[in-house]
Every structure is written in structure tokens, then in C-alpha cells.
């Protein structure tokens, strides 16, 4: 079918329709989510934790994310594919942001990029948009700033709600096509969503945002550890895989596999 474009997301907002977004880091999930009708796939820097085994998103590099981005763009026929700009690859200057995004668009064939931060990164967003790169913003709890924010904590409570709205407005003004709101009170997210013309995408931001995003490994239960309160687990893939691996191991040890029908 036809590729999802940023103006389609804008139309959904104008019609008051909510839409889903999932992370994807490889061919199978990109194909499956694309065919399931997920209109936007994010090659998140959460690949740091979910592909590479890092303890946070900070260590992952552009060179590590590019092949994952290319796998997803090769595999999704319809979804708009957004690539996360990792920590340290855009904060330095608008020029650095354009150079990094250029690699994600040329080598990764991404359709858009996402970066974290508010009004202080408006120059980056503006430069990218002028260079032809659609930009998704990311506000609230921004994992790349974990150490400055003092850990995983809800942002935008009380007086901070006005700051959140000012940052969201600055991103819209700079030309962003959407803004992720992570771990903010539902009421603050509702206000930002109502005030902005561009769509908001919530994660731990309550029910009033235009879109909802989850990390696919959390959503599908690949993650065996504890997950955040805002995650809903729609499957137990981790459990299913552990069972499959255990059954395979038992069959090999007992001689049940391979059987005659698996042999030449
Ligand atoms: O990297 C990621 O998975 C994200 C989403 C949580 C929005 O940035
Ligand atoms: Na991210």
C-alpha cells in the first residue's frame, strides 16, 4: 500500500483519531508490525538496551543504529520509519545534527529522525527541517538526560507543566512534525496535545495524546525483568521462546529430534 507520510499523521489529529507507534530494530518485527497496520515505526536508541545489551541508551552509537535502521526500512513497506539520533550525535550544533541525520537518511533510508530536548534544540530542529529532514521531538522524561534528571522520574508536574508546554511550542515553531511526551502527568499531556497543532505521541503520558508508543520488547514480553508502570504486556514472547528453546534442548538430549521426517 501507500507509504504513510507526515501529513497523514496531521490529518489523523485533525480528525481526532489516535494512532499506534512501536519500536522496531530488525526485519521480522518491521514486517510483522507493518502488516499489522502500525503506521509509524521507531528505530529507537532503546536498541541500546534491547539489542546491544547496554544498561542505558547513552552508549549506543550512530554506527550501531544505522544497520538496524536499514533493516527496518528494507522491511516495512507502508510504515513511516523514524530513526532516533543517539546521545552525542546532535547536541553539539545544528551542523552536527544535519550531518548525523544525513547518515540516517542516506545510509539508513530513514524517513524522519527523532531527537530529545526542547527549546534549546530548536536551532537543530530548524536546520534539519530546512535540510529536508522531518523531525519528531521528545519531551518529558528524556532517557539521554537520565543523569541530569536524576533517574527515571515523571517530568512536567506542577510548575514544570508550563515549561513542558513552552518546549513543545518551541519544537512546533521550529518545524517538528510531532512530539513524543514521555512520563508526564496525563493532564499535562492533555494540555500540550490540545495546544499544539502537530500530533503528540505519549508513553507513560495518559490517554489524551494523539498517538501512543511502546517499546516492542516491553509490549510483547520479551523483557523478562520488571517493566515500567506505563507498559501493557500484550504477549509473553519471552516465555514462549524460553519454552521453545527448552523443548528443543530436551528433544535433542532425548533423541526425539530430528525424527525421520526431518531427515534425508
Ligand atoms: O528509544 C525509544 O524507544 C524511544 C521511545 C520510548 C519513544 O525513544
Ligand atoms: Na529513544
Angle at 243 between CA 52 and CA 32, to 5 degrees: 55
In the chain, helix, strand, coil percent, each to 5? 45, 15, 40
Same domain assignment for residues 48 and 165:
yes
Shared-domain flag, residues 199 and 256: no
Catalytic residue among 182, 191, 243, 261: 182
The mean pLDDT value of the chain amounts to 97
Query: Do 260 and 132 lie in a common domain?
Result: no
Angle (deg, nearest 10), helices 94-106 and 122-130: 50
Return d(Cα 37, Cα 127) in angstroms, integer.
Answer: 32
Q: 20 with 62, same domain?
A: yes
Cis previous bond, 258, omega within 30:
yes
Query: Which ligand number lies closest to the CA of residue 144?
Result: 2
Both 202 and 99 in a single domain?
yes
Domain-embedded: residue 115: yes
In terms of domains, do 139 and 188 share one?
yes
Instruction: Check pocket membership of 137 for ligand 1, CB cut-off 6 A.
Output: no
**Do 144 and 259 reside in the same domain of the chain?**
no
257, 212: one domain:
no
Domain-located, residue 1 = no
CATH number for the domain harbouring residue 27: 3.20.20.60
User: Of the ligands numbered here, which is closest to the C-alpha atom of 47?
Assistant: 1
Q: How far apart (Å, rounded) are the C-alpha atoms in residues 8 and 142?
A: 26
Each residue's pLDDT tens digit, 67-88: 999 999 999 999 999 999 999 9
**Residue of 114, 80, 72 lying closest to 97 (CA atoms):** 114
User: 107 catalytic, yes or no?
Assistant: no
Instruction: Evaluate whether ipTM surpasses 0.95.
Output: yes
pLDDT computed for residue 223 by the predictor: 84
Which residues, listed in sequence order, are joined to residue 135 by a DSSP beta bridge? 113
The pairs formed by 12-17 with CB atoms below 8 angstroms and a separation of 24 or more are 12/199, 12/210, 13/197, 13/198, 13/199, 13/210
Asked if residue 126 has its Cβ within 6 Å of ligand 1, the reply is no
Q: 216 and 161, same structural domain?
A: yes
Domains of the chain: total: 2
> What's the half-sphere exposure (Cβ side, CA atoms, 13 Å) at 88?
7
180 lines ligand 1 (CB under 6 A): yes
Ligand 1 center to 90 CA (angstroms): 16
The residue whose grid cell reads 510548575 is 159
Q: Residue 225's pLDDT is what? A: 80
Q: Which of 203, 205, 211, 219 to mutate to test the pocket of ligand 1 (most atoms within 8 A of CB)?
A: 203
**Residue 228 domain flag:** yes
Distance (Å) of CA 225 to CA 114, 128, 218, 222: 27, 37, 10, 9
Q: Does any domain span residue 184? A: yes
From ligand 2's centre to the CA of 162, what distance in Å? 23
181 lines ligand 1 (CB under 6 A): no
85 touches ligand 1 (CB under 6 Å): no
Same domain, 210 and 247: no
If one counts every other C-beta atom within 10 angstroms of the C-beta of residue 242, the result is 12
- Residue 44 counted as domain residue: yes
Residue 57 shares a structural domain with residue 107: yes
Q: Residue 61 falls within a domain, yes or no?
A: yes
pLDDT digit string, tens, across residues 5-37: 999 999 999 999 999 999 999 999 999 999 999
Feature table: binding site for 3-methyl-2-oxobutanoate: 45-46, 84, 114
pLDDT of residue 232: 97
Query: Residue 1: its pLDDT value, please?
Result: 60
Put simply, whether the predicted model's pTM sits higher than 0.90 gets the answer yes
In a domain? residue 229: yes
Smallest-distance ligand from the CA of 140: 1
Pick out the chain residues at pLDDT < 70: 1
pLDDT reported for residue 174 = 98
Its domain, for residue 244, covers 237-264
Whether 136 is in a domain gets the answer yes
Q: How far apart are CA 88 and CA 76, in angstroms?
A: 28
Residues 141 and 225 in one domain: yes
Amino acid at each position: 500500500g501507500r507509504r504513510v507520510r507526515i501529513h497523514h499523521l496531521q490529518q489523523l489529529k485533525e480528525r481526532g483519531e489516535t494512532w499506534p507507534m512501536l519500536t522496531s530494530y530488525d526485519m521480522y518485527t518491521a514486517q510483522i508490525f507493518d502488516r499489522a497496520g502500525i503506521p509509524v515505526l521507531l528505530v529507537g536508541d532503546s536498541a541500546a538496551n534491547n539489542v546491544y545489551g547496554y544498561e542505558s541508551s547513552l552508549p549506543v552509537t550512530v554506527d550501531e543504529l544505522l544497520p538496524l535502521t536499514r533493516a527496518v526500512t528494507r522491511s516495512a513497506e507502508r510504515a513511516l520509519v523514524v530513526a532516533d539520533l543517539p546521545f552525542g550525535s546532535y547536541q553539539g550544533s545544528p551542523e552536527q545534527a544535519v550531518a548525523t541525520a544525513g547518515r540516517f537518511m542516506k545510509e539508513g533510508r530513514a524517513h524522519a529522525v527523532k531527537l530529545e530536548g526542547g527549546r534549546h534544540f530548536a536551532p537543530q530542529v530548524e536546520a534539519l527541517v530546512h535540510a529536508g529532514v522531518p523531525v519528531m521531538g521528545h519531551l518529558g522524561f528524556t532517557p539521554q538526560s537520565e543523569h541530569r534528571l536524576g533517574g527515571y522520574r515523571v517530568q512536567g508536574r506542577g510548575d514544570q507543566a508550563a515549561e513542558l508546554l513552552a518546549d513543545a511550542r518551541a519544537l512546533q515553531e521550529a518545524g517538528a512534525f510531532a512530539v513524543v511526551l514521555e512520563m508526564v502527568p496525563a493532564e499535562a499531556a492533555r494540555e500540550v496535545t490540545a495546544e499544539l497543532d502537530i500530533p503528540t505521541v505519549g508513553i507513560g503520558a495518559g490517554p489524551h495524546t494523539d498517538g501512543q508508543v511502546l517499546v516492542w520488547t516491553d509490549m510483547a514480553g520479551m523483557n523478562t525483568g520488571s517493566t515500567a508502570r506505563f507498559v501493557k504486556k500484550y504477549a509473553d514472547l519471552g516465555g514462549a521462546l524460553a519454552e521453545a528453546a527448552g523443548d528443543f534442548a530436551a528433544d535433542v538430549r532425548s533423541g526425539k529430534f530430528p525424527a525421520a521426517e526431518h531427515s534425508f
